[in-house]
Structure 1
Amino acid sequence: MKKMDYKKGERVKHPGMPEWGLGKVLEDRRDDKVCIFFTGEGRKTLSLKHVEPLKISGAEAIHPVLDHLWIKEGGESKYQSLQTSKELFLKDYPDGFYDQAYLDGERNGKVAAHELALSLIGPEQLEALLGQKNYEEICKRAIKVVNATKLIFPNEKLALRNGLKDSKNMELFSKNLYHLLYGKEDVAERFISFAKTLEGIKVGKWTTLSYFLFIVFPEKYIFLKPIVTQLAAELSAFEIHYRPDLNWRTYQSVLDFSEYFRSELKDLRPRDMIDIQSFMWGIGPNK
């Protein structure tokens, strides 16, 4: 009897291991072996002498991780299933996103910073200050919002303060902060424009760039802390196209990654990206 052929990219399931979930063929079949990545188990090399994975198509073959699959070249994979990640998070916070320790240690401070941001750099406040050309006050308020959390490293906060001592930088930053948060153009255009502004005053960091969107609109945008985000993506085998230089593709990919978590964690009832960002931090084995 002829053995079934398997091609790179095909979706399959293991007939005897349903808990392994949906799989993606990583390489064309070689002799009697096929290499497959399973969402519930990670990378596996199967002998076709003992098992023939079932090919899956249509809607059943769709999975966010497999659609954005990334496996680090060389070295041992750090992959852990979503179930394992949830168990790690719940070990620290048994009641999940509603655990009192989580609220006190992770969420409440960020919610307070969000409320502060709305009161200091909301659209009406910024429009009034821009009308007065009071760029110094806008910068003071922005720095106060930054200092309301520990999300941005102290040295990066210092760099921002130093960069905003120059009057031209104050004006440029103030106008582009308003444009980023409340402009009418597509968010990608506003994002890139603000990135160029930060680079121009020598504070072009992912943390500073993503912070304001996150803290003002936590229901929609994520905070990108490179080490934490890259580790969470590697653990989840999710391609985020990370580059250290500021670019929209990376941030859009991190948004996709965040939406994957928000969708798959419905049973934990995440409220917004504050919860998702905390989950990313909480699933690392050595956090």
Structure 2
Amino acid sequence: MATSRSTEPSAPVIVKHPGCPQWGLGYLVEERDEKRFYDFEDGHNHSIAKAFWSKLEPVQLADDEASALEARIRGLRDRPSAAAKKARVRVAAPPVTSFDEQIATFEAQFEGGFGGPHFVADERGFAGGEPTEGGSSGSKNGATAKKKSKAFKQSAIETARALLAKGELEALLAAGNLADFMERITKVHKAATGLLHPLGDLIPFNKMAAEHHRAYAEAVVDLLYGTDDYAARFDRLAGVLAAAKVVTWPLATILSALVNPAEHVFVKPSFFEKQAAVLGFDLAYDRAPSSEGYARMQALARELERRLRERALAPRDLMDVYSFLWRTISPPKAPAKS
């Protein structure tokens, strides 16, 4: 009886990823579940889903060169990371407030909590834009707001979900239409201007060299809709941003936080450091965005969410948790002396 044989070509042992030159060369360590796992010269193991195998370019090395590459990469993986070294020597700042004081500050600003009219009007924003006639606006008797709300987060979430839909991004990428792809990213960033800093985030990003656009576009699609481990996808995006010299925590986290705020959180490290001190949470992260650091930021946000719910406050998602954090983490400034 004839037996079927796989026509899948054998996996190249040594490869490079043209879209992620910062990874260097990598060698195959495992193949399973339609994924290939490579150890690269950046010291990380990257899992490549089957849909992206064609992106890898085989590299031919002499036997002695291949052995030297493997030894060098193993040495990198066995060595403590720079992030771990920095984390060990960083001294945590003392708490600037207490959690009880944060709760009191929040309740004083937003009567009714996350679902109250003041939080919606001043912080979250309205679904679909401004409230319609007779809708809740924070004014008496539910009258229509007399002035436009400055809250933007709900609008930014809706904008991101509309402009960064999976099918549309994949179609733009397949067509090589990088200009329209980047224009969509710019529009999402503009919708989230209150989260991203003009000088620290927006201006540098908008000056990203065109040679990095394809790698960035591929990393964004992978980040938002890839099927392999999120940590690898996060590191890929952070690596592309680093190669383009525009990497920041806000730029590395904004898209996932807007498209999927129930799962992902927007990060400004200085706020998270202060919150970690208040909750006695061991944040220990590196200044450079990494999946390890992000996992701790995410865990801190979840811990804060848990404590808020214990106080009968019900954030919709991690964007609300971030709003609580930044609204309450710094003590109010003392009034100026007359």
Return the offset for 1:95: 1.3
Residues 1:88 and 2:105 aligned together: yes
Counterpart among 191, 212, 217 of residue 255 in structure 2: 212
The aligned residue for residue 95 of structure 2 is 78
The alignment partner of 1:244 has SS state of: coil
Work out the percentage of aligned pairs sharing the same amino acid: 25
The aligned residue for residue 26 of structure 1 is none
- TM-score normalised by L of structure 2: 0.60
The aligned residue for residue 173 of structure 1 is 216
- CA deviations on 1:80-115 (whole Å, 9 max, x unpaired) are 543332122111112111232221221111111111
Could you tell me which amino acid in structure 2 is paired with residue 82 of structure 1? F
Equivalent residues of 1:230, 1:242 under 8 A apart? no
Counterpart among 148, 152, 165 of residue 196 in structure 2: 152
The aligned residue for residue 283 of structure 1 is 328
Return the offset for 1:240: 1.3
How far apart, CA to CA, are the structure 1 residues paired with 2:176 and 2:195? 29
Return the offset for 1:177: 0.6
The alignment partner of 1:253 has SS state of: helix
Alignment of 1:92-111 (within 5 A): 92-108=109-125, 109-111=152-154
Counterpart among 225, 233, 242 of residue 182 in structure 1: 225
How far apart, CA to CA, are the structure 2 residues paired with 1:261 and 1:286? 18
How far apart, CA to CA, are the structure 2 residues paired with 1:249 and 1:84? 30
Residues 1:199 and 2:199 aligned together: no
Equivalent residues of 2:96, 2:330 under 8 A apart? no
Counterpart among 268, 271, 274 of residue 319 in structure 2: 274
Cα–Cα, structure 1 residues 215 and 203, in superposed 2: closer, same or farther, change >3 Å? Answer: same
How far apart, CA to CA, are the structure 1 residues paired with 2:213 and 2:303? 37
Cα–Cα, structure 1 residues 135 and 240, in superposed 2: closer, same or farther, change >3 Å? Answer: same
How far apart, CA to CA, are the structure 1 residues paired with 2:298 and 2:233? 16
Equivalent residues of 1:241, 1:249 under 8 A apart? no
How far apart, CA to CA, are the structure 1 residues paired with 2:321 and 2:185? 24
The alignment partner of 1:146 has SS state of: helix
Counterpart among 135, 160, 163 of residue 117 in structure 1: 160
Could you tell me which amino acid in structure 2 is paired with residue 250 of structure 1? G
Return the offset for 1:276: 0.3
How far apart, CA to CA, are the structure 1 residues paired with 2:327 and 2:116? 13
Return the offset for 1:73: 5.0
Cα–Cα, structure 1 residues 74 and 146, in superposed 2: closer, same or farther, change >3 Å? Answer: closer
How far apart, CA to CA, are the structure 2 residues paired with 1:286 and 1:81? 10
Cα–Cα, structure 1 residues 180 and 73, in superposed 2: closer, same or farther, change >3 Å? Answer: closer
The alignment of Structure 1 onto Structure 2 pairs a total of residues equal to: 214
Alignment of 1:243-262 (within 5 A): 243-262=286-305
Runs of 4+ deviating beyond 4 Å: 72-75
How far apart, CA to CA, are the structure 1 residues paired with 2:212 and 2:122? 35
Which runs of 5 or more structure 1 residues have no equivalent in the other structure? Answer: 1-71
Cα–Cα, structure 1 residues 158 and 73, in superposed 2: closer, same or farther, change >3 Å? Answer: closer
How far apart, CA to CA, are the structure 1 residues paired with 2:242 and 2:319? 26
How far apart, CA to CA, are the structure 2 residues paired with 1:140 and 1:100? 34
Equivalent residues of 2:304, 2:321 under 8 A apart? yes
Equivalent residues of 1:173, 1:198 under 8 A apart? yes
How far apart, CA to CA, are the structure 2 residues paired with 1:157 and 1:97? 29
How far apart, CA to CA, are the structure 1 residues paired with 2:92 and 2:292? 24
Which runs of 5 or more structure 2 residues have no equivalent in the other structure? Answer: 1-89, 126-151, 333-338
How far apart, CA to CA, are the structure 2 residues paired with 1:265 and 1:248? 25
How far apart, CA to CA, are the structure 2 residues paired with 1:153 and 1:285? 18
- CA deviations on 1:58-87 (whole Å, 9 max, x unpaired) are xxxxxxxxxxxxxx9587x32654333212
Equivalent residues of 1:219, 1:272 under 8 A apart? yes
Could you tell me which amino acid in structure 2 is paired with residue 136 of structure 1? A
Larger mean CA deviation between 85-94 and 173-182 belongs to 85-94
